[in-house]
Amino acid sequence: MAGFRALAEHVRDPRIPTRQRRTALRKCLEKFAPYGHRATWHHLCTRVGIGTGDRQPEPARLVAALAELEEARTIWLAYDVEFAARRKREKHAGIRQPGALDEWHRRTWGGCGVVWCDDPQHHPTAPLPDVLRRLIAALESEPREVCPVCADDRIVWRHGLERHPGSGPVCTGCGIVVPEAVLTDEALMTAKRCRRAALAS
């Protein structure tokens, strides 16, 4: 199976039929899809003006979507390298027990679902690179009471999510499943209370 860079070259190659270039872009999302495959595809199509079911989009739009995806991937890979170096330093210092952030990072290995959106049509509207920068800044800061991507405080706890662990805090503003490690205990308790209140009503 081709890697991300080989698939990206197919997307750019004007000698390849447009339909195949579109397929190559979709396959790039098997390697790196920050919101999950369907939500990331919907995001990219919305950003560059392609219909999600359009089989013959303008090649320039495909290349524009790829450029946004590639920039976001570069940002994430740099963070991934730094994360691995930090864990190595911690293990060398005798810190063997992984924390909540480490557990979250393990589930998002490779960059798929790092800003998971359970509803494919409800995702941040900002460019992917901006979203990843905001997330990384939150991961490297003290926990807060708001969404790291859109700063909305309307976070609710949801069950039945389509990925492990199956439940978690979801921002009702931008639709991301917020990593628990970036939220304060108070924010998490509030999210769970919001769910109970919604069930009771």
Distance CA 194, CA 92 (A): 42
Query: What is the predicted pLDDT for the residue at 201?
Result: 44
Distance CA 119, CA 82 (A): 30
Sequence-separated (6 or more) residues with CB below 8 Å from residue 201 = none
Query: What is the predicted pLDDT for the residue at 100?
Result: 65
- Tokens coding 46: 């919305």
Distance CA 113, CA 30 (A): 11
Sequence-separated (6 or more) residues with CB below 8 Å from residue 166 = 159, 160
Convert the pLDDT of each residue in 54-93 to its tens digit. Answer: 999 999 999 999 999 999 999 999 998 888 787 778 777 7
Convert the pLDDT of each residue in 152-182 to its tens digit. Answer: 999 999 999 998 789 999 999 999 999 999 9
Confidence of residue 198 (pLDDT cuts 50, 70, 90): low
Arithmetic mean of pLDDT over the chain: 90
Element at 18 (helix H, strand E) = helix 18-28
Distance CA 164, CA 161 (A): 8
